[in-house]
Structure formats: structure tokens, C-alpha cells
Homo-oligomer: A and B are copies of this chain.
Amino acid sequence: MIIDCHGHYTTEPKALHEFRARQIAAVKERSALPSRESLKISDDEIREGIESAQLKLQRERGTDLTIFSPRASGMGHHIGDEPVSLEWSQICNDLIHRVVRLYPNNFIGVCQLPQSIGVEPKNSIAELERCVTQLGFIGCNLNPDPSGGYFNAPPLTDKWWYPLYEKMVELDVPAMIHVSGCCNPAQHTTGSYYLNADTMAFMQLILSDLFKDFPGLKLIIPHGGGAVPFHWGRFRGIALNNKRPELNEIMSNNIYFDTCVYHQPGIDLLTKVVPIDNILFASEMVGAVKGIDPKSGHYFDDTKRYIDHAPGLSAADKQKIFEGNTRRVFSRLRIPQSVAQASA
């Protein structure tokens, strides 16, 4: 079976965007925030968005299950204060829960956290716990830069983050390290900012003792690990020059890359240099790059095709990337019986 570990709810009903616009307007102009009760979304509206996009593409591409979280660029941790971020996060997470309840065979939830500029990550613990224990979510998206583009939060290896990591380990859930929309005009959200955050995070981790302190901590760096596989020699060399072990050993059971790399040569490189055990299948659909590649005639984000065609991957390797590794990392994932039977 094929599990996509990185899907965002990017086909939200219009009412959600309208609510968010009112919330942002209230923050900027210090007027009354809209009440949560004012937001009305019907199951049919949810179905309409999901069935015409994510579900349709799952069927077309032959993937079974998507680990599903709120739109990453919409988390907006730099907007408003902590209560605003909390309310917005709860609304978005509850909506993911509704999607999962409507399509239990196709989606399983991952939450966004109510982070906010300068606010300690431990304040996100309650929402993480709610999502995992009450909504059945199996992971979270952790924003390493709540400023939205200025990279001024403490590194992920700083003790600032430790209470959240403790809870993650206790709940046995991984985090995908994923920034949100960029408010810095020097960086483009999906073009440079996402990738820069990925590269930054990896570099922070490899020179640290974080995984000595948290041997059970599991972090997924999306978008194929940013610039890392392309510069594998640079990172290896810097690690070795700093008396650290080989990257394979550092990554081990703690750091994973996904396959959101939108061309064949990129996936070929990823699967050649990064240990197969540390690669999780993902497409990020419907997300960063929509549309069909005029050269290949296929969707840019149809990453399953690239894995299918990557030279040197055995059937066992592909099984690990498509399913095995993801089940190991998302250890709370229980495959719905109907899906397991259908793909057996």
C-alpha cells in the first residue's frame, strides 16, 4: 500500500478563508474578532473540495492514504498573538478531523500547533495533546520560524523547544518541520522559504546532541530535505570536520526526508545518497506546484511516478519508501481494515 505522508488541506471551503480574513482584519485594526460560532461549514462543502482534488488525485495516482494537515502556508504564526493563533489552530485542526471522519479510509490527521512569535513552544503542548488523544491525530507540523521569514527563533536544538519534544516522545508522535507563509519580501513561500527552512533545520540538527537528549524524537524534513541531498558532500564534510559521525548515522531513527521533489533527476539523487530507511513517500498535493509539466506530460507533484522510475530502487526499497518507513515513523498510524484489505 502507498501512504503519502505530506498532504495539506488546500481546498478548504470559502467560509474558512472568509473567517480568517475577518480574524486578520480584526488583529490589524484592533476590532472585535469574529466568533468561532460564526463559522459554518457543511459536510457537503468539505466533500466538494476533497472529492474534486485530493481524493480524485489519490485515485488517479494509485495512492491509498494521505497523512493530512492544515494548509501549511495558512498557519500564519506571525499573525496576531497567541490567543489568535490558538483559535485559528483549533479551527483548522477540527476541520482536518472532520475530513478524516468523512473519509476514514483516505486521510489521517496531523495537526498544526498554536505557535506565535516569541511564545514558548511548551504552550503548544495542550493543543498537541488534544489532537492526538481526542482527535486521533498521529503527528504535528512544527514551525521552526514563527516570524514568517526572518529566522529569528532559537535553533531547534535549543532547550526552548524541549518541553514540546518531551510531550512528542511521550505521545510517540513525529513532527514535520514546516514553516508557514512568508511575510518577508526577500523570500518566496513555496519557492525559497520552505526549502531554506528545511536546509536550516538539518544543519542545526547535525551538529547538536539533541538526539542524545531525545533518542525517541522523530523529525521529518519535508521537500526532500531542502538543499541537503544535492549538497550531501558539503554536509558530510562539515559534520566530519566537527567530529560528528557520518550523516547516515546521525539521521538514523531520528531524521527523515520526504519525497516532495518534483522531477526525476532530483528523486534519483535523493534515493541514491540518502539512506532508503530515512525516506518517506510524499507529494505535498495539492500544494506548492500545481499543473502539468509540459515536457513530461505529467503533474509536477505526481511524485509516485518518479519513485516508480528511480533506477536502483528494489521492490523492497520501494515498499519501505511507500509504506514501511512511514508506518515506523508514524507509530500511532493504524491502517483502516478496508484499506489494508483493498491493497492486499
Query: What residues make up the interface of A, taking CB atoms closer than 8 Å to B?
Result: 144-145, 149-155, 184-188, 190-192, 195-196, 199-200, 202-204, 207, 223-224, 226-227, 229-238, 240-241, 261-263, 265-266, 268-270, 272-273, 288-291, 293-294, 300
Contacts and interface: CB of A to CB of B under 8 A. Distances in A.
A185 B151 CA distance: 9
B266 A230 contact: yes
A185 B200 CA distance: 10
Contacts of A240: 291, 294
9 cross-chain pairs, A with B, having the tightest CB-CB distances, nearest first = A233-B263, A233-B262, A227-B227, A237-B289, A230-B230, A196-B196, A192-B203, A191-B203, A237-B300
Nearest to A149: B151
B186 A230 contact: no
Contacts of A233: 261-263, 266, 289, 293, 300
A263 B236 contact: yes
Nearest to A182: B151
20 contacts: A151-B184, A151-B187, A153-B186, A154-B186, A155-B185, A187-B200, A187-B203, A188-B207, A190-B234, A191-B207, A192-B199, A192-B203, A192-B227, A195-B199, A231-B262, A232-B265, A237-B290, A237-B293, A238-B289, A269-B269
Contacts of A234: 190-191, 195, 223, 261-263, 288-289, 300
A293 B241 CA distance: 10
A288 B66 CA distance: 40
Contact of A186 (B155, B186, B293): B155
Contacts of A202: 192
Contacts of A291: 237, 240-241
Contacts of A196: 192, 195-196, 199-200, 227
Contacts of A185: 154-155
Contact of A230 (B152, B192, B227): B227
A163 to B, nearest CB: 19
